[in-house]
Amino acid sequence: MFIHKSARVLYEAIGELHAQGASIDAASIAQIANTKSSTLTLNVVKGLLWGGEEDFTFSQADGPLLRKELERSEIRAQMQSEVQKALEYISEPSVPDEDFFGNVGKYLVNAQTIALSRSGSPLHTLEEAYNKYEQELDERESGVLGISGDILLDKALVRKTAGGQIITIAAATGSGKSLYLLNLMNGFIELGIPAIYITLEMDMMSTLDRLTALRTKTPISDWYEADKLVNLRRKLKEERKYIDQQSSVEIVEDPSLSLADVNAIIGEFRSKHQIPKEQRIIVGIDLVTQLKDFASGIKGYSMANNYEVAVNLQNAIAKSQNVCFLDIVQFNREADTVDLQEFADLRRTRPTLNNIKNSAAIAERSRVVLSAWRPYYYAQRYLQHLEEVQSMDDIMYVTVLKQSQGEVGQELPYKFNGAYGEVLPTYDASLSHNLLNAEEVGMEELTEEQRLLREVDF
* Rounded average pLDDT over 373-383: 90
Domain with CATH 3.40.50.300 in the chain: 143-454
201-221 pLDDT tens trace: 899 999 999 999 999 999 999
Please, are residues 315 and 365 in contact by the beta-carbon 8 Å criterion?
yes
Strands 368-373 and 395-403, sheet pairing: antiparallel
What is 91-132 written as a DSSP string?
A: T-TTS-HHHHHHHHHHHHHHHHHHHHH-SS-----HHHHHHH
Residue 114: CB partners within 8 Å, gap ≥ 6? 75, 78, 79, 82
| Strand-pair partners of 427 | 445
* Rounded average pLDDT over 128-151: 92
User: Residue 141 — pLDDT band, cuts 50, 70, 90?
Assistant: very high
313-367 pLDDT tens trace: 999 999 989 999 999 998 876 656 778 888 888 888 888 888 776 677 888 889 9
17-48 pLDDT tens trace: 767 777 777 778 888 888 887 777 777 666 65
Distance in angstroms (rounded) separating the CA atoms of residues 288 and 257: 10
Nearest to 408 by CA among 418, 420, 398: 398
Please, are residues 221 and 419 in contact by the beta-carbon 8 Å criterion?
yes
* Rounded average pLDDT over 175-184: 95
Residue 370 has pLDDT above 80, yes or no: yes
Distance of CA 96 to the CA centre of its chain: 36
User: Residue 435 — pLDDT band, cuts 50, 70, 90?
Assistant: very low
Entry pTM: 0.72
- For helices 177-191 and 204-216, what crossing angle results, to 10°? 60
> What is the reported pLDDT for 77?
73
264-295 pLDDT tens trace: 899 889 988 999 988 999 999 999 999 998 88
What is 237-287 written as a DSSP string?
A: HHHHHHHTT-TTEEEEE-TT--HHHHHHHHHHHHHHTT--TTS-EEEEEET
Distance of CA 12 to the CA centre of its chain: 36
* pLDDT above 90: percentage of residues in the chain: 40
* Rounded average pLDDT over 224-229: 96
Residue 108 has pLDDT above 90, yes or no: no
Q: Which CB contacts under 8 angstroms, 24+ apart, belong to 103-112?
A: 105/297, 105/298, 105/299, 105/300, 105/301, 106/298, 106/309, 107/82, 107/83, 108/82, 108/83, 109/298, 109/309, 109/313, 110/82, 111/78, 111/79, 111/82, 111/83, 111/86, 112/260, 112/313
Choice between 405 and 51, residue whose per-residue pLDDT is larger: 405
Distance in angstroms (rounded) separating the CA atoms of residues 288 and 286: 5
- Residue positions counted in the chain: 458
The amino acid at 66: L
Of these ranges, 54-63, 336-345, 396-405, the one predicted with the greatest mean pLDDT is: 396-405
Distance in angstroms (rounded) separating the CA atoms of residues 272 and 6: 40
> What is the reported pLDDT for 62?
44
Residue 306: CB partners within 8 Å, gap ≥ 6? 293, 294, 296, 297, 298
Nearest to 143 by CA among 155, 129, 128, 152: 155
> What is the reported pLDDT for 67?
52
User: Residue 63 — pLDDT band, cuts 50, 70, 90?
Assistant: very low
Fill in the DSSP letter of residue 171: E
pLDDT, mean over the chain? 80
> What is the reported pLDDT for 327?
97
Distance in angstroms (rounded) separating the CA atoms of residues 263 and 275: 15
- How far is the CA of 327 from the CAs of 17, 74, 219, 239, 285, in angstroms? 47, 33, 27, 28, 5
Please, are residues 164 and 145 in contact by the beta-carbon 8 Å criterion?
no
| Strand-pair partners of 424 | 415
Residue 436 has pLDDT above 70, yes or no: no
Of these ranges, 5-9, 137-141, 296-300, the one predicted with the greatest mean pLDDT is: 137-141
* pLDDT above 70: percentage of residues in the chain: 74
Residue 400 has pLDDT above 80, yes or no: yes
User: Residue 438 — pLDDT band, cuts 50, 70, 90?
Assistant: very low
CB atoms within 10 A of CB 287: 19
CA atoms 90, 92, 98, 102: torsion sign: negative
* Rounded average pLDDT over 380-395: 87
Omega of the bond leading into 17 within 30 degrees of 0 (cis): no
CATH number of 143-454: 3.40.50.300
Residue 120 has pLDDT above 70, yes or no: no
Of these ranges, 162-176, 328-342, 377-391, the one predicted with the greatest mean pLDDT is: 162-176
> What is the reported pLDDT for 353?
82
Distance in angstroms (rounded) separating the CA atoms of residues 270 and 275: 5
Distance in angstroms (rounded) separating the CA atoms of residues 371 and 454: 14
Burial of 242 (0-12, 13-18, 19+ CB in 10 A): exposed
* Rounded average pLDDT over 66-88: 67
Distance in angstroms (rounded) separating the CA atoms of residues 292 and 275: 28
